[in-house]
Amino acid sequence: MEALLEKLKRTPPFKFLYKVPGLINLYHLVMAFLAALWYGFPSRKLTVIGVTGTKGKTSTCDLIAQILEGAGHRVGLITTVRCKIGNAEFTNRTKQTMPGRFELQRMLRDMAESGSDYAIVETSSEGILQHRHRFISYQVAVFTNLSPEHIERHGSFEKYREAKRKLFEEAGRRAHSIGVYNLDDAEVPHFLAPEAPELKVSYGYAVKQKIPSSRFRVSRQFQIARVKLGKKETEFKMEGEIFRMPLLGEFNVYNAGAAICVALSQGIPLGEIRQAVGRAVPPPGRLEIINRGQSFTVIVDYAHEPMSLEAAYKAARLFRPRRLICLLGSQGGGRDRWKRGAMGEVAARYCDEIVLASEDPYDEDPLEILKDIEKGVLRVDRRKKLHKIPDRREAIEYAISLAKPQDAVLFTGKGGEVWMCVSGGRKVPWNERGVVEGILEKLVKKERAQN
């Protein structure tokens, strides 16, 4: 069905109607209703949890799923990285966080038929813009954080924020709706303002804010305290319990805070939650440590905007490397041009040596994208060691060749993605972890042969 609609959009008169804002908005809404109707409104048979925000959505969804499964529930999952229906788990190969309306409703139908209790849906602003979230019976809505992204698509940061807030409007239609909020985020007041959608029960969590606080219209507020960030585990205290988890970095403390609040809202005992968090596994390509016997640390992460990039670099610094070498790029095709220089600035502040490489250039000249990032690097440090290598495989090999014992090399931008988008609308198969592992294995084999 989605494939047919894509073809129709390119044929007259549909391709002209598609450019009229009012009509296209109505089109998306009608198609969302028809998709739900076609599959019998399947979300009504599930407890649907939606997670939105700029960063941390995928990891938070994944952690919620692991906690619920640890408590004996059957869970369906739809995220940027992977999907799960019944016992079947598969990689999301669409390069879309939320599938198209008919595909999304079909997946929810299949989850219900497979006996799932829960459906966890990573809910993107792009999906919300096209009404993919409509006619889904969200019972729980989670806000992780907000920073500028997809500004060209939405028109302004304010419109981007408003799109995120619409998840809570949809959840607010339910009689027993639950909201979960990161109270440390600067944008959270917009989600809790008097004119904002009010959910029946709300949970808030914070590391830096002193809570409970009357500033927030939140039913239950949880302080996350005694945070200890290590290179092997993270420890924190919440609701009187000490949590230890193998997920690294402060950003994962926030992801865990959101997941714990969701689990508590579903009546899962705190002890069971603590056990599940203690055995948590990160999604593919989310601060993923790769060890093939090399003498330095290698990490693959999806970070692709300034806020998440800084969080990834801070996490890499937990390993106390002699030097931090990074490889990064940025999307082409006119997407979020503003962030290129900002990402260069972040890299210059945290990294000792920088390699710039293609990420998803689309029809844009890859070298021009790298020059935009370079401008940000030079604004911070004109003497920073910087290398521009558009070919990503070649750039990865070069970044690894720079590493010495006790260094750390961090590859960002692709994470667990399976495609690289290049000119002519082509998608080239890509496996960042596989490429990195292959190069490391050759390096280690060569070093052992020499010794």
CB 135 within 8 A of CB 41: yes
CB-facing half-sphere around the CA of 276: CA atoms within 13 A: 23
Element holding 35 (H helix, E strand):
helix 21-38
| Percentage helix, strand, coil for the chain under 3-state DSSP, each rounded to 5 | 40, 20, 35
Helix (H, G, I), strand (E, B) or coil at 80: coil
For the segment 292-312, the average pLDDT, to the nearest whole number, is: 96
Q: What is the pLDDT of residues 377-416, one digit of tens each?
A: 999 999 999 999 999 999 999 999 999 999 999 999 999 9
**Which pLDDT score, from 0 to 100, does residue 153 have?**
79
Q: What is the pLDDT of residues 44-71, one digit of tens each?
A: 999 999 999 999 999 999 999 999 999 9
Q: Which of 165, 81, 174 has its CA nearest to residue 122?
A: 81
Give this prediction's pTM. Answer: 0.92
Give 98's contacts (C-beta < 8 A, 6+ positions apart): 78, 104, 121, 122, 123, 124, 126, 127, 132, 133
**Rounded (10°) CA dihedral 32, 36, 38, 40:** -170
Q: Where are the beta strands (DSSP E) in 25-184?
A: 47-52, 75-78, 82-85, 88-91, 118-122, 138-143, 178-182
**Which pLDDT score, from 0 to 100, does residue 213 have?**
84
Judge whether residue 92 has pLDDT over 80.
yes
Judge whether residue 272 has pLDDT over 60.
yes
Burial class (CB in 10 A: 0-12, 13-18, 19+), 351: buried
Residues of the chain with pLDDT > 90: what percent?
84
Judge whether residue 270 has pLDDT over 70.
yes
Judge whether residue 25 has pLDDT over 60.
yes
Judge whether residue 432 has pLDDT over 90.
yes
DSSP assignment string, 159-181: HHHHHHHHHHHHHHTSTT-EEEE
Q: What is the pLDDT of residues 175-216, one digit of tens each?
A: 889 999 999 999 999 999 888 888 889 999 999 998 888 888
Helix (H, G, I), strand (E, B) or coil at 154: helix
Judge whether residue 151 has pLDDT over 90.
no
What residue ranges define each of the domains in the chain, with the CATH number in brackets?
A: 2-278 (3.40.1190.10), 288-450 (3.90.190.20)
